C-alpha cells in the first residue's frame, strides 16, 4: 500500500514539475511575442506557483501537495488564457478558470478551518459545520473577487455583465460544495488529517502558539 | 429599572410597527391594489410569527428581532404601496435593513449553537468573521433567487451588473456592522442576556445538550 502511495506521490510531484515547465515555456512564448505585459504576468504566475517551495525552503514549511498543485494549475490556466487569448477564443474558458480558482480557495478555507480546529482553543467545529463554512467562505471570497474586478485594480479588461457575474458566483458555489463534500469524506476517513498534518503543525508553531501566548499575557 | 423601561419601549415600538402594517392593509384595500393587499396580509402574518411562537410553542424571540422583521416588511410593503421605491437610495436602505436582519439572525444562531451545541465552540472574533461571510453568502443566494426568477419568468428582478454588485456590497457592510455590534455586546454580556431565553428553549426542543452550561 505504501509503495502505491510513494509512486502516486512521485507522479504528483512530476506533474507539478511538468506544470512549472509549461509556465516557463509560457514566459518564453511571451518574450518571443514581445508581449511585455504578459512577460510580467507569467513571471508573477510562476512566482506564485513556486511560492510553496520557496516558503518550504526558508521556513521549513511542508505545504500539502494538493495545494501546491492547485496553485500551479490555476496560475497556468489564468496566464495561459491571457497569453493565448483562450479567454476570448474558447467559449466559457473564463468559467473553467474561475471554477479552479474557487476550488483552490475552498481547499485553503477547509484546510485553515481544520487546522484551527485541531490546534486552536478558540475553535471546535463539527465536520459537517466545517463543510458548511467551506461553502459560504468560497462564496464570500468569490464576491470579494468580483469587487476587485469592478474596481479594476489590475487594469485588466473583464467582461462586466450581470450574466457573467452570476455565472462566476455559481462556479464559486459549485466549487465550494464539491470541496466541502470531498473534504468531509476525507475528514471521516482520516485522510484529511494526513494531508494537513505537517502544515498544521508548522502553522501551530509559527502562528497559533504565539497568538495564544500573547492572549494569555493580556 | 433602566432595562424594564427599555423593554417597555421596545414592546410599544413593536406594536406601533404592526399597527402601521394594518394601516397599509387598509390603504391597499381602499386603493384596490390586489398585489399589495396580498403582500400586506402575508407581511402581517409574518410579523405576528414571534407572537404565535411565544403563545403556542413557548419560544421567545429577542424583541429586537421582532422589531427588525416588522420594520423590514414595512419598508418593503410601504415602498411598493406608496411608491417610496422611486425615492433615490430607498432600495439601498431597504436592502441594508434586510441584510442586517439576516446578519443578526446568523449571529443569534451561531451564538446559541456555541453555547449549547457540542459541535461548535468559537472565539467571539471567529464568530464575527463567520457572521460576515454568512451574510455575504446569503446575499449571493438571494441574487441567485432573483436571477433564476428573471430567467424563468422573464421578469426584471435584477437591474443589472452594477446594481447586483451594489447589493452584495450592502450585504457586506451590514454583515461587518452586525459583527462589530455583536462582539461588543458579547464582551458586555448583553448578547447572552438577549438570547438566553431563546437559547434555553432551542436547547430543550432541538439541541438537547447534556451539559448544564458551557463557558465561553
Give the residue on B whose Cα is nearest the Cα of A164: B161
Which residues of chain B make contact with A170, given a CB cutoff of 8 A?
A: 144
With cut-offs at 50, 70 and 90, classify the pLDDT of residue A134: very high
Residues in chain A with CB shorter than 8 Å from the CB of B131 are: none
Q: What is the mean pLDDT of residues A130-151?
A: 94
Point out which residues pair with B122 in neighbouring strands. A123
Query: How does B133-154 read in b/e, with b if 16+ C-beta sit within 10 Å?
Result: bbbbbbbbebbeebbeebeeee
Instruction: Give the mutation candidate from B125, B127, B136, B162 for the A interface (greatest A CB count, under 10 A).
Output: B136
Q: What is the pLDDT of residue A12?
A: 59
Give DSSP secondary structure letters for chain A: -HHHHHHHHHHHHHHHHHHHHHHHHHHHHHHHTT-HHHHHHHHHHHHHHHHHHHHHHHH-----HHHHHHHHHHHHHHHHHHHTTHHHHSTTHHHHHHHHHHHHHHHHHHHHHHHHHHH-TTEEE-HHHHHHHHHHHHHHHHHHHHHHHHHTTT-------HHHHHHHHHHHHHHHHHHHHHHHHHHHHTHHHHHHHHHHHHHIIIIIHHHHHHHHH-
Q: Which tops the pLDDT comparison, A143 or A30?
A: A143
B139 touching chain A per CB within 8 A: yes
Answer yes or no: is pLDDT of A2 > 60: no
Same domain (yes/no): B11, B96: no
A160 contacts B134? CB cut-off 8 A? no
B136 in contact with chain A, both atoms CB, cutoff 8 A: yes
- What is the interface size between A and B, counted as CB pairs within 8 Å? 74
ipTM of the complex: 0.86
Residue B31 sits in the same domain as residue B137: no
d(CA B76, CA B73): 5
Lowest mean pLDDT among A14-23, A136-145, B25-34: A14-23
pLDDT tens-digit readout, B152-205: 988 888 889 999 999 999 999 999 999 999 999 999 999 999 998 889 988 888
Contact A146 B147 (CB under 8 A): no
Contacts within 8 Å (CB) and 24+ apart, B209-214: B209/B116, B209/B117, B209/B118, B210/B118, B211/B118, B214/B114, B214/B115, B214/B116, B214/B121
Q: Which of B86, B105, B125 is the last residue of a domain?
A: B86
Q: Considering only CB atoms, which chain A residues are within 8 Å of B161?
A: 160-162, 165
H/E segment holding residue B120: strand B120-122
Q: Are residues B207 and B160 in the same domain?
A: yes
B153 and B113 housed in the same domain: yes
pLDDT of residue B3: 62
Low-confidence ranges of chain B (pLDDT < 50): 215-216
What pLDDT shows up at residue A213?
A: 75
**Contact call for B121 and A123, based on CB within 8 A:** yes
Q: Per the CB < 8 Å rule, is A124 touching B133?
A: no
Residue A4 has pLDDT above 60, yes or no: no
Query: For residue A145, what is its C-alpha cell?
Result: 473577487
Which residues on B lie below 8 Å from A147 (Cβ)? Answer: 165, 168-169
pLDDT tens digit sequence for A46-89: 776 676 666 665 555 566 778 778 877 887 787 778 778 888 89
Tell me the C-alpha distance between B132 and A110, whole Å: 17
The verdict on B25 and B104 lying in the same domain is no
Boundary (domain end) residue, out of B38, B62, B86: B86
> In the 8-state DSSP scheme, what is residue B214?
-
- Using a CB–CB cutoff of 8 Å, tell me whether B15 touches chain A: no
Which structural domain, as residue segments, surrounds residue B49? Answer: 1-86
Same domain, yes or no: B108 and B184: yes
Per-residue pLDDT at A37 exceeds 80: no
Residues B21 and B110 in one domain: no
- Note the pTM of the prediction, 2 decimals: 0.85
B161 near A CB under 8 A: yes
Q: Are residues B50 and B106 in the same domain?
A: no
Minimum distance, in Å, between the CA of residue A16 and any CA atom of chain B: 32
B110 contacts in chain A (CB < 8 Å): none
| Nearest residue, CB atoms, A165 vs list B117, B121, B161 | B161
Mutant choice from A114, A131, A139, A150 vs B, greatest count of B C-beta within 10 A: A139
Same domain, B43 and B102: no
A interface test, pick of B143, B148, B165, B173 with most A CB neighbours within 10 Å: B165
Q: Tell me whether residues A122 and B122 touch, CB distance under 8 A.
A: yes
Q: Which residue has the higher pLDDT, B38 or A10?
A: B38
Last residue of one domain, picked from the residues B30, B64, B86 = B86
Residue B77 distance to chain A (closest CA, Å): 27
Q: Is the pLDDT of residue A120 over 80?
A: yes
CB distance from B215 to chain A under 8 Å? no
B137 contacts chain A (CB < 8 A): yes
Residue A123 phi, psi (nearest 5): -150, 125
Residue to mutate among A121, A149, A169, A173, with most B CBs inside 10 A, is A169
Q: Indicate whether B97 and B202 sit together in one domain.
A: yes
Same structural domain, B103 and B80: no
pLDDT of residue B74: 92
**B80, B92: one domain:** no
Q: Which residue among B119, B121, B140 sits closest to A139, beta carbon to beta carbon?
A: B140
Q: How many domains does chain B have?
A: 2
Amino acid at each position: 500500500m505504501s509503495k502505491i502511495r510513494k509512486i502516486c506521490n512521485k507522479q504528483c510531484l512530476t506533474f507539478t514539475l511538468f506544470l512549472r515547465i509549461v509556465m516557463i515555456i509560457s514566459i518564453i512564448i511571451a518574450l518571443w511575442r514581445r508581449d511585455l505585459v504578459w512577460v510580467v504576468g507569467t513571471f508573477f504566475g510562476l512566482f506564485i506557483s513556486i511560492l510553496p517551495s520557496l516558503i518550504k525552503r526558508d521556513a521549513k514549511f511542508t505545504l500539502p501537495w494538493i495545494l501546491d498543485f492547485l496553485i500551479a494549475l490555476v496560475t497556468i490556466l489564468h496566464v495561459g488564457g491571457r497569453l493565448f487569448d483562450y479567454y476570448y477564443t474558447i467559449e466559457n474558458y473564463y468559467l473553467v478558470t474561475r471554477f479552479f480558482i474557487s476550488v483552490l480557495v475552498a481547499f485553503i478555507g477547509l484546510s485553515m478551518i481544520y487546522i484551527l480546529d485541531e490546534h486552536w482553543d478558540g475553535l471546535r467545529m463539527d465536520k459537517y459545520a466545517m463543510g458548511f463554512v467551506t461553502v459560504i467562505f468560497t462564496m464570500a471570497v468569490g464576491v470579494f473577487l468580483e469587487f476587485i474586478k469592478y474596481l479594476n485594480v489590475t487594469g485588466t479588461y473583464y467582461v462586466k455583465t450581470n450574466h457573467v457575474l452570476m455565472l462566476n458566483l455559481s462556479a464559486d458555489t459549485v466549487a465550494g460544495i464539491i470541496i466541502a463534500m470531498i473534504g468531509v469524506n476525507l475528514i471521516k476517513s482520516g485522510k484529511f488529517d494526513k494531508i494537513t498534518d505537517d502544515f498544521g503543525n508548522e502553522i501551530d508553531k509559527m502562528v497559533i502558539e504565539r497568538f495564544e501566548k500573547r492572549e494569555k499575557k493580556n | 429599572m433602566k432595562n424594564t423601561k427599555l423593554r417597555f419601549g421596545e414592546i410599544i415600538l413593536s406594536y406601533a410597527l404592526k399597527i402601521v402594517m394594518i394601516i397599509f392593509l387598509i390603504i391597499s384595500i381602499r386603493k384596490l391594489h390586489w398585489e399589495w393587499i396580498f403582500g400586506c396580509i402575508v407581511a402581517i402574518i409574518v410579523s405576528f410569527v414571534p407572537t404565535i411562537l411565544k403563545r403556542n410553542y413557548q419560544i421567545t424571540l429577542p424583541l429586537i428581532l421582532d422589531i427588525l422583521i416588522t420594520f423590514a416588511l414595512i419598508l418593503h410593503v410601504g415602498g411598493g404601496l406608496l411608491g417610496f421605491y422611486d425615492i433615490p437610495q430607498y432600495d439601498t436602505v431597504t436592502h441594508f435593513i434586510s441584510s442586517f436582519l439576516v446578519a443578526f439572525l446568523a449571529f443569534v444562531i451561531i451564538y446559541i449553537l456555541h453555547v449549547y451545541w457540542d459541535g461548535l465552540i468559537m472565539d467571539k472574533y471567529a464568530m464575527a468573521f463567520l457572521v460576515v461571510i454568512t451574510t455575504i453568502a446569503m446575499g449571493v443566494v438571494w441574487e441567485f433567487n432573483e436571477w433564476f426568477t428573471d430567467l424563468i419568468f422573464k421578469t426584471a428582478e435584477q437591474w443589472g451588473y452594477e446594481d447586483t454588485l451594489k447589493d452584495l456590497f450592502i450585504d457586506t457592510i451590514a454583515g461587518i456592522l452586525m459583527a462589530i455590534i455583536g462582539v461588543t455586546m458579547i464582551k458586555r454580556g448583553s448578547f447572552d442576556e438577549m438570547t438566553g431565553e431563546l437559547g434555553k428553549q432551542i436547547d430543550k426542543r432541538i439541541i438537547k445538550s447534556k451539559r448544564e452550561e458551557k463557558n465561553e
